[in-house]
Structure 1
């Protein structure tokens, strides 16, 4: 790829400056990215959410031939509320060889490098197409990627594979767990606390459900993952009115992270059986479950061959799995082999003073230029 004066730092500075917390719009960032890519000769298309305040951006350049590449990432970031930052989270700050700001690791560092790589292309030399895909709402259930599945299935020719720049510290991830997030609401019967036999405690029922969660874990293990099996976590719980009232309501939010080979439907069926069994023991209870989001895991397959090829461009390339969830499983459902590899680290993601090492950005920049250069310029 030709040497180009465009550098990722001013691009990253712009991206960090857009406060694209998932509860807010991402349109200013999409405006900037679309204008940037159009100025480099890309064709673009937006896909808005129902409210019209967020959008996915698809961009492409090059001949309509098989063997292209899609660079993919999400534009939203997690909140900074009640976090103790020592720098302005929405202003890029450089110190001690690191770049600080919300999203530097997860994952605007990658977005900036994707845009910088696009600017370094000589479109006259392209032999394969390059796609760029920026999505919304990954942090709250991958809503943007879910909305794109139908469109991605129609891409002709389809990319050879998608590369998602989530924070893996330059490791090549070919499999990761899936996730389901559920809200369970329990309605009991209130009574004076001196007469518990007249009521039905929603909190007691909830505590028994929570204590039995571990019993629902499938016995399957996969030693490629750490931890090697499915996991549960109850993240929030709310209930009760006063100390002297048998609680009528209790609600808790819980997640299940499954191995990519596992089916959450089986876990949901076991959950319903557990509820039914407990209701026989504790009368006067009603339970409602609301699945807030479900994202499939990424299963190894053709992407292992692609990862082996990508490894050639990394000095210490490692191929493995991840315990966290990305949009990769959704792209896989759309028929795109997908590898996850980015310059940030999961240890920095979502943290106060989130940062990324400049050395990692430079290493990934070299990697990305080589991958894109070899894939789309080679005759």
Structure 2
């Protein structure tokens, strides 16, 4: 299947609806809103459960840990001057580039976690500065997403960010924060999902970490053990060529059905 939303998350929903058609055992299904922004749905939905499976593209691997995230905006100030005399001013765009590079070298970003392979932990999503080639920019603003591994304190990360930005006389605004999270690999909901995948595919899956926020983080914070599972790759979500293999969706549907039918 090819199209916007087929892997994140319409295909996963179709697999779940197919799963409940295969079994008579009871289960609860909650469709919640706004996961991409405030995730208000998973914060507020009224549910009682022994375990939660959140649907996301995980390449059919159980996700038991989530990186947290800090979305931020930094405004860097320079000094305007004539474009032919840049030495008479201070270029805020160049200054911002140095701040961006130094953020990527902060100590909390050097930490590791066994469930997360090494990866870039900082995404520069937007940058604006200057208005004419003949004016040295006196202001530059950029927005970033900074990932935080389980075991790293969000407070520590923010303290390091604020300290660095202050050294450059810039301003930092935190736009959004999500805490890193992790569920015990031996919890019944994780074990049930692993057993179901093995029963359907003949291969035992290896639990992994997830770079992105999902609703599982809120369920974990609310005391519901949660694991994430689904067909396809997160890397193609939100892209111009989003896709998911029908074969993987069929496997996901059968795995979900197995969990429902054999829940302790």
Q: What band does the TM-score fall into relative to the shorter chain?
A: 0.7 to 0.9
Shift of 1:170: 1.4
- Match for residue 67 of structure 1? none
Query: C-alpha separation between the residues in 2 aligned to 1:357 and 1:275?
Result: 44
Q: Deviations over 1:151-208 (max 9, x none)?
A: 44xx4xx201110111112111111211121121224332324555664432232122
Q: Deviations over 1:80-126 (max 9, x none)?
A: xxxxxxxxxxxxxxxxxxx222222221111112233345564xx64
Aligned residue pairs: how many?
258
Please report the TM-score for the alignment, with normalisation by the length of structure 2. 0.85
Alignment partner, residue 240 of structure 1: 130
In the alignment, does 2:118 pair up with 1:227? yes
Deviations 1:44-65 (A, max 9, x none): xxxxxxxxxxxxxxxxxxxxxx
1:295 corresponds in structure 2 to: 178
* Residue pair 2:66, 2:212 contacting (<8 A) in 1 also: yes
1:269 CA drift (Å):
1.4
- Does the CA-based 8 Å contact 1:313-1:371 persist in structure 2? yes
Question: Out of 126, 134, 143, which is 2:31 matched to?
Answer: 134
- Between 1 and 2, higher relative CO (CA 8 Å, sep ≥ 6) is seen in 2
> Is the aligned partner of 1:167 residue 2:57?
yes
Deviation, 1:351, is 3.3
CA displacement, residues 235-294 of structure 1 (integer Å, 9 cap, x when unaligned): 322211222212122111111111022122212211222222233xxxxxxx33232222
Matched, 1:327 2:227: no
Quote the residue 1:216 is aligned against. 106
Cα distance, 1:193–1:353 mapped onto 2, change above 3 Å: closer
Match of 1:110 among 4, 8, 12: 12
TM-score using structure 1 length? 0.61
Question: Hey, what's the Cα distance between the residues in 2 that align with 1:148 and 1:312?
Answer: 26
8 Å CA contact 2:15–2:250 kept in 1: the answer is no
SS at match of 1:354: coil
Aligned to 1:307: 190
Verify the 8 A CA contact 1:171 1:317 in the aligned structure 2: no
Q: Give 3-state SS (helix, strand or coil) of 1:132's partner.
A: coil
Residue 345 of structure 1 aligns with which residue?
233
What is the root-mean-square deviation in Å for CA atoms of aligned residues? 2.5
Measured in 2, the distance between the counterparts of 1:331 and 1:150 equals: 10
Q: CA deviation at 1:220?
A: 2.4
How far apart, in 2, do the equivalents of 1:108 and 1:167 lie?
Answer: 10
Match of 1:74 in 2: none
Which moved further from structure 2: 243-252 or 298-307?
298-307
SS at match of 1:370: helix
Unaligned runs of 5+ in 2: none
- Residue 100 (str. 1) matches residue 2 (str. 2): yes
1:188 is matched with: 78
Aligned positions of 1:11-50 closer than 5 A: none
Say which SS state the counterpart of residue 245 (structure 1) adopts.
coil
Of stretches 359-368 and 295-304 in structure 1, the one that deviates more from structure 2 is 295-304
